[in-house]
């Protein structure tokens, strides 16, 4: 039996995307190379993958340091798994069956070469920041969540601006009126924050970016903060306001509520094929490689 860099693999797929055949091929290939394979429970329930043990994401951390999670899907699927597995340090390998592929960067057709290199110990290991936060109301925490991309505080009603006060490490930074505010990790800097006019942060940077959404005052610009700070956003206005973590976990806010955010002590761990480059990803996904025709 061939000795590999990982003894356990958990396969996770976006079952709505019809990836069962890919998962089955990967599972059979891994088993043939001496890797113990388990299928994430919801993936198994919605796919045709008989003959393999099933496991919940909460149980994956119990498999120890010799475990890798292989995710077949899009960036949304990868983000959801990363939120669950980041606290226990299990690394993720992403195989892209979606559209974007910023963090699921292996094409479906290339999975054999990528996983073969992975099992041989040839891969790039990358650690990315995770945001953790809570909503405090009348001195009591009423909601908590984590985000790999971003935390967004914005209006949940149809019209009107929200007024937000932002403190950094207990010191006032500004009060702004806008459609909302994005607090993004470097990973999230290429998501909603980029659409709202924020900068791209390289994933290795220890920083967080605050990006106003359609600010009422043009001088309220995006700002990059050190990763170690605590950010507190107080809801000044009494209009309909909400907060979401990676666009998945939501809470309704009231005037006087405070959203407290900080970088988590743990990291999300992503694995990439040998020679992977973040700049290659940017060129492909943002189409920096295209040469526009010159007009006469």
Active site residues: 75
Selection from 221, 208, 225, 215 nearest residue 176 by Cα: 215
* Dist. CA 143–CA 136, nearest whole Å: 8
- Quote the strand ranges of 30-170, DSSP E: 36-40, 53-55, 67-73, 92-96, 106-107, 124-128, 131-137, 140-147, 150-155, 162-168
How many whole angstroms from its chain centre is CA 116? 25
* Dist. CA 182–CA 174, nearest whole Å: 14
Report how far apart, in Å, the C-alpha atoms of 292 and of each of 3, 202, 279, 280, 289 are. Answer: 49, 26, 20, 19, 10
How many whole angstroms from its chain centre is CA 169? 25
């Amino acid at each position: 039996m061939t000795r590999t860099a990982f003894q356990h693999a958990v396969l996770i797929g976006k079952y709505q995307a019809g990836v069962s055949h890919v998962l089955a091929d990967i599972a059979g290939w891994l088993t043939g190379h001496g890797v113990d394979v388990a299928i994430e429970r919801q993936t198994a329930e919605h796919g045709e993958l008989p003959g393999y043990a099933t496991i919940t994401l909460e149980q994956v951390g119990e498999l120890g340091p010799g475990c890798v999670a292989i995710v077949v899907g899009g960036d949304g699927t990868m983000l959801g798994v990363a939120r669950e597995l980041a606290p226990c340090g299990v690394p993720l390998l992403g195989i892209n069956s979606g559209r974007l592929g910023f963090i699921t960067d292996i094409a479906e057709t290339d999975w054999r070469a990528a996983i073969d290199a992975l099992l041989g110990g040839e891969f790039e290991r990358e650690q990315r920041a995770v945001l953790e936060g809570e909503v405090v109301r009348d001195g009591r925490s009423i909601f908590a969540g984590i985000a790999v991309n971003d935390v967004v505080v914005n209006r949940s009603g149809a019209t009107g601006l929200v007024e937000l006060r932002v403190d950094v490490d207990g010191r006032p930074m500004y009060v702004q009126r806008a459609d909302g505010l994005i607090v993004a990790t470097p990973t999230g800097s290429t998501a909603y924050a980029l659409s709202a006019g924020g900068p791209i942060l390289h994933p290795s940077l220890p920083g967080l970016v605050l990006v106003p959404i359609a600010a009422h005052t043009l001088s309220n610009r995006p700002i990059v903060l050190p990763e170690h700070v605590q950010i507190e956003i107080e809801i000044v206005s009494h209009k309909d306001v909400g907060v979401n973590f990676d666009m998945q976990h939501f809470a309704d806010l009231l005037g006087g509520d405070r959203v407290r955010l900080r970088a988590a002590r743990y990291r999300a761990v992503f694995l990439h094929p040998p020679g992977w480059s973040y700049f290659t990803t940017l060129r492909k996904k943002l189409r920096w490689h295209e040469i526009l025709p010159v007009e006469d």
